[in-house]
Structure formats: C-alpha cells, structure tokens
C-alpha cells in the first residue's frame, strides 16, 4: 500500500510503501500505547496481575496510594494490600477465568510499610486479549475512607435527628398545650399533639375527617371566624379567644388560640403551627374576682341601705303591731307579713355585706352534715313527690362552719325541689380526689339554659316570682369563705348538677 507524504506547501515530498503486516504492527502499537496511557492516568488505583498473583502492570494512582513504584513490584507477587485475601485468591482466579466480575465492599487493605488499615472497595475483573481470551486479572481499588467518614457523619446526623425527634415527641406528649400543624396547600390538619386526645377523648384529625361528628360533639363559638383564622395566609402572628362546649358533658372550655406561620425560603406561608392554651381556670378566677368585686361594692352599698332601713322598719313594725291589737284589721296581718319579709331580705343583705369574723371553723364530717340536712328536708321533698338519695363515700374530715354548710345545702335542695313540679329525685354524692372533698348534687328537673347558667352569679338574678336573687349569692359567698368552689352544669330537659369542692387543708 502506497502513502504520499506532502510538504506544508502541498507539494509531494515522497511516497512510502507499507505492507499489510507492517500497518497492523503500527496500529497495534498505537492502540497499546493509547491503552497504556489511559490505564496509567486512570484516577482509581489499578493493577494487572497474572494468574499466580504477580504484577504485570500498575498505574500512577496505585503507586500513590501504596507509596511504591512499578519497578519495585513488576514481576513480583502482590501481597501487602491483599494479605487477608490470600486464602481466597485461587477461588478469585477461577471466577475471573470464567469471565466473572467480583466486587468487594468495605474491605480493609493494609498499606505498604505501615501498620495502618483503610476501608476500600475492590473490583476484580478479567483482562482479555484481542482474541477474547482471558490473559490476566485487573484489580481496581477505590479508597472508601471519605465515603465512610461521610456515612458516619450522616449516621451521626440521623442519630441526632432521631434524638431531637424523640425529645420533641416527649415534649409534645407531656405538655398540656394543644399543638396543631395545619397544611394550607392541602387545607387540612396534619398533626395534633396527644394533649388534644387527653383533653377531649378523641383525635382532632379524626374529627376533621368527619365534620358531622365534630359538630355533634362540640359547639364552637365564632366558628366562621375560626375557619378564616385557620386558612388565612397572613405572615403575622395572630391570637383569638375560643369557647368550646363539649355537648356530651356540657363542659365549657376557654382557649387562647395562637397561630404562628411557618415561612418557606421564598417567604410564602404553606403551613402554620397553632397552640391552644386552656385558660378556663384563668377565666373562672377572673370571673370570681369580678364577682367578689361586685359583692364587695353591692355589700358596702347594701350595708348602708340596710342600716338606714332597719331602724325605721323596726319603728313601723312596732306601731303596726299596736294598731293591729286595737283595730284587729286583716290589713294589719298583711302589713306585718310584708314587713317580716323586708326584715328577712335585710338580714340576707347584711350577711353578704358583713365579713364573717366571728365564725368558728371546726373539723366536721360532711357526710354527717348531709345526712342531717336530708332528714330535715325529707318532709318537704315528700310533699312535692321528690325522692332524696345519697351516695356517700368515705371522706376525711374538713374544717368548716356546720350551720353555713347546712344553709348552702338547704338552699340548693329547695331550688332543686322547685325545679321539679311533677316530682323527681335528688342525689347527693361525695368523694375524695386530689386533696379535695367533692360534692355533687344532681336533680332530674327541667334543667337550666346555657344563657341562664352564665347569669347565676349575677347579683339579684332570679326567675322566681317572689325570689330576691340573693340565695345563690349567699351560697357562693359561704363556699368561698370556706376556700371552696361551686359551679353548675345543666342540660335542659334532663336536670342540673351542682358541683362543690372543699380543700381538706386550708
């Protein structure tokens, strides 16, 4: 075959004839040179062995990794990196001769002249000749140190995340605040803390999936405002007060509802976290303070009025009695009856107004006091076809003024009898819990509406034709004087329960 060699100017310089054999030689030499250059500059440490484990060829990366030179190892058995694979080498050769590729993950290989190990990944594969015959073994070694360090770092970070997640779960599991995570894009609650189930006996996510069940179970004040409050994408922090009534127990709870948006990297709000703090007790205490302030103001005013009325009232009553003896008129009896009613009202007002400084508190058994009141009220209850029942558990003695406790019980039982014109039953229950003696008085009367329940503490509130509205006020005051609490729950058509609580020590 003739080849023309040209000068740069394009003129013919000379012609050369090559035989097919010589061309094949130069092609193979160029190919070998190219392959050798590629192998030598391959970034992974690589070595070619014969079937007895002697070095045929190695690259620069291998020399650098094991601090050796090709001249040192060429034609010699390669032992130092593979000491713990010597007993397996024969098996490896057999696999390679079959054309198999073997990968060893995370095996430690010892460096030359160093008592040091490092993690490595070995890929062992056959080296073929041009006629597809296996002529040697190619071993590629990849240092896994950085990868293992990265994996260790990732594992450490995962452990840290798991620890933090466990801590967060422990925190949310044991705090009383209700935590809600809301997804604005999906428009649904995606997380609620366990406190919600402890508080209401069910999970909010379940209730949200069944809106009818939610409405049947709870009466939520400002529901429309709450819905807008929840779905608003405003980036600011928002708060509102929320009143929730559990229809199954008629229990009213007040919550301070706080929403904090969770900002994405682009500043948009896709989720927000809500915290509901139960402020029912705080509300009750504030109401008690307002109630006491009202009682104080009314008491001061009433005391002055009562004193001003009492003196002329006594004079009028005396003269009416004298006139009635002389005239014996029927109107005199009516006047005296009404004057006595005024005196009774004045005495109740003074009871509210005067601080009870001369009260003698003694350790008493409330069950015994209740039994005596039931015996006293039984005739009146029988007349109105009302049955008095008791369920009295063993309770510790409590420091109290017996007459005042009896006055409270008689007032409540009388109100209950009046609430059952067609008869019914009154059950008095006592039990001890968490350092308090608790007393529940349940009737089967007509019940009290929610609107009226909220007004029971108001001065002079009554729905009775001849009522003064002072009876319950006196009950509240006497129980508060004993460092106790009193509150009402009721369901229209089913009855009312009066809950009284006394501390064992105060």
Helix extents (H) in 123-210: 145-174, 194-200, 204-209
The strand pair at 251-263 and 238-246 is best described as: antiparallel
CATH of 362-503, one of 3.60.21.10, 2.80.10.50, 3.30.565.10, 3.40.50.1980: 3.30.565.10
N-term to C-term CA, the chain: 121
Q: Given this model, what pLDDT does residue 3 score?
A: 40
- Average pLDDT of the segment spanning 420-436: 90
Q: Given this model, what pLDDT does residue 466 score?
A: 56
Q: What share of the chain is helix, strand, coil (3-state, %, to 5)?
A: 45, 30, 25
Q: What percent of the chain has pLDDT over 70?
A: 75
Residue of higher predicted confidence among 431 and 460: 431
Please give the full DSSP string across 254-304, using - where no structure is assigned.
Answer: EEEEEEEEEE-TTS-EEEEEEEEEE-HHHHHHHHHHHHHHHHHHHHHHHHH
- pLDDT of 80 > 70? The answer is no
- pLDDT of 112 > 50? The answer is yes
- pLDDT of 29 > 50? The answer is no
List the Cα angle 258/261/264 in 5-degree steps.
Answer: 165
Q: Given this model, what pLDDT does residue 500 score?
A: 92
Q: CA nearest 252: which of 277, 284, 223? A: 284
Q: Where are the domains of the chain?
A: 22-143, 145-172, 175-278, 293-353, 362-503
Helix (H, G, I), strand (E, B) or coil at 445: coil
Q: For the ranges 224-233, 312-321, 460-469, which has the lowest average pLDDT?
A: 460-469
195 contacts 177 by C-beta, under 8 angstroms: yes
- pLDDT of 358 > 70? The answer is no
Q: Given this model, what pLDDT does residue 357 score?
A: 54
Q: Given this model, what pLDDT does residue 442 score?
A: 93
CATH of 175-278, one of 3.40.50.1820, 3.10.129.10, 3.40.50.2300, 3.30.450.20: 3.30.450.20
- Average pLDDT of the segment spanning 269-275: 83
Q: For the ranges 227-236, 268-277, 362-371, which has the lowest average pLDDT?
A: 227-236
- pLDDT of 142 > 70? The answer is yes
Q: Which three-class secondary structure string do you get for 400-432? A: ECHHHHHHHHHHHHHHHHHCCCCCEEEEEEEEE
Instruction: Give 230's strand partners.
Output: none
Residue-wise pLDDT for 295-338, tens only, equals 666 666 766 776 677 777 777 777 777 777 666 666 777 777 77
- Homologous superfamily assigned to 22-143: PAS domain (3.30.450.20)
Q: Given this model, what pLDDT does residue 13 score?
A: 42
> How far apart, in whole angstroms, are the C-alpha atoms of residue 74 and residue 97?
22
Q: Given this model, what pLDDT does residue 49 score?
A: 87
Helix extents (H) in 175-222: 194-200, 204-209, 211-217
Q: CA nearest 424: which of 396, 386, 378, 458? A: 386
Residue-wise pLDDT for 162-192, tens only, equals 887 788 777 777 777 888 888 888 888 888 8
Q: Given this model, what pLDDT does residue 318 score?
A: 77
Q: Given this model, what pLDDT does residue 370 score?
A: 92
- Average pLDDT of the segment spanning 361-387: 90
Q: Which two tokens stand for residue 253?
A: 């709870």
- pLDDT of 252 > 80? The answer is yes
- pLDDT of 488 > 80? The answer is yes
Q: For the ranges 73-82, 222-231, 257-266, 428-437, which has the lowest average pLDDT?
A: 222-231
> How far apart, in whole angstroms, are the C-alpha atoms of residue 168 and residue 165?
5
Residue of higher predicted confidence among 457 and 114: 457
- pLDDT of 69 > 80? The answer is yes
Instruction: Confirm whether 175-278 and 362-503 share one CATH topology.
Output: no
CATH number for the region 293-353 comes to 1.10.287
The long-range contacts involving 266-271, CB below 8 angstroms and separated by at least 24 positions, are 267/235, 268/233, 269/184, 269/233, 269/234, 269/235, 270/183, 270/184, 270/185, 271/181, 271/182, 271/183, 271/184, 271/190
What average pLDDT does the chain have? 77
Global pTM reads 0.44
If pLDDT is split at 50, 70 and 90, which confidence band does 193 have? confident
Which residues neighbour 97 within 8 Å (Cβ) at sequence distance 6 or greater? 51, 126, 134
288-301 burial string, b = 16+ CB within 10 Å, else e?
Answer: eeebeeebeebbee
């Amino acid at each position: 075959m003739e080849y023309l060699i040209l000068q740069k100017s394009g003129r013919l310089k000379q012609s050369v004839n090559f035989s097919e054999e010589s061309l094949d030689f130069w092609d193979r030499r160029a190919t070998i040179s190219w392959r050798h250059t590629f192998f030598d500059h391959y970034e992974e440490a690589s070595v070619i062995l014969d079937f007895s484990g002697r070095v045929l060829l190695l690259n620069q990366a291998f020399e650098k990794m094991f601090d050796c030179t090709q001249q040192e190892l060429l034609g010699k058995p390669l032992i130092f990196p593979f000491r713990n694979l010597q007993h397996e080498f024969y098996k490896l050769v057999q696999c390679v001769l079959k054309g198999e590729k073997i990968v060893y993950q995370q095996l430690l290989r010892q460096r030359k002249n160093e008592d040091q190990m490092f993690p490595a990944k070995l890929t062992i594969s056959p080296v073929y000749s041009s006629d597809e015959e296996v002529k040697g073994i190619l071993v590629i070694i990849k240092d896994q140190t950085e990868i293992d360090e990265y994996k260790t770092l990732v594992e450490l970070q995962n452990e840290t995340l798991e620890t933090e997640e466990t801590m967060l779960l422990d925190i949310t599991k044991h705090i009383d605040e209700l935590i809600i995570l809301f997804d604005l894009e999906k428009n649904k609650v995606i997380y609620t803390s366990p406190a919600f189930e402890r508080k209401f006996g069910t999970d909010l996510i379940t209730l949200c999936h069944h809106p009818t069940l939610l409405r049947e179970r709870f009466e939520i004040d400002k529901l429309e405002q709450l819905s807008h409050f929840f779905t608003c994408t405003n980036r600011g922090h928002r708060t509102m007060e929320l009143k929730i009534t559990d229809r199954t127990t008629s229990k009213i709870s007040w919550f301070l509802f706080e929403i904090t948006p969770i900002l994405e990297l682009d500043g948009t709000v896709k989720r927000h976290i809500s915290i509901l703090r139960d402020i029912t007790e705080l509300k009750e205490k504030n109401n008690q303070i307002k109630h006491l302030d009202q009682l104080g103001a009314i008491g001061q005013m009433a005391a002055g009025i009562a004193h001003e009325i009492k003196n002329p009232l006594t004079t009028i009553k005396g003269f009416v009695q004298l006139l009635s003896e002389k005239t014996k008129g029927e109107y005199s009896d009516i006047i005296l009856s009404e004057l006595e009613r005024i005196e009774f009202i004045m005495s109740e007002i003074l009871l509210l107004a005067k601080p009870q400084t001369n009260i003698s508190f003694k350790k008493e058994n409330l069950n015994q006091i209740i039994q005596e009141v039931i015996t006293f009220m039984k005739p009146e209850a029988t007349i109105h076809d009302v049955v008095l029942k008791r369920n009295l558990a063993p309770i510790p003695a409590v420091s109290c003024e017996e007459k005042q406790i009896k006055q409270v019980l008689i007032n409540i039982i009388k109100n209950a009898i009046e609430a059952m014109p067609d008869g019914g039953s009154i059950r008095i229950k006592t039990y001890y819990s968490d350092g308090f003696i608790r007393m529940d008085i349940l009737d089967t009367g007509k019940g009290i509406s929610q609107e009226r329940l909220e007004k029971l503490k108001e001065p002079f509130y009554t729905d009775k034709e001849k009522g003064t509205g002072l009876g319950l006020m006196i009950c509240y005051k006497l129980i508060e004087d004993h460092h106790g609490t009193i509150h009402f729950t009721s369901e229209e058509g089913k009855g009312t329960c009066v809950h009284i609580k006394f501390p064992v020590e105060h």
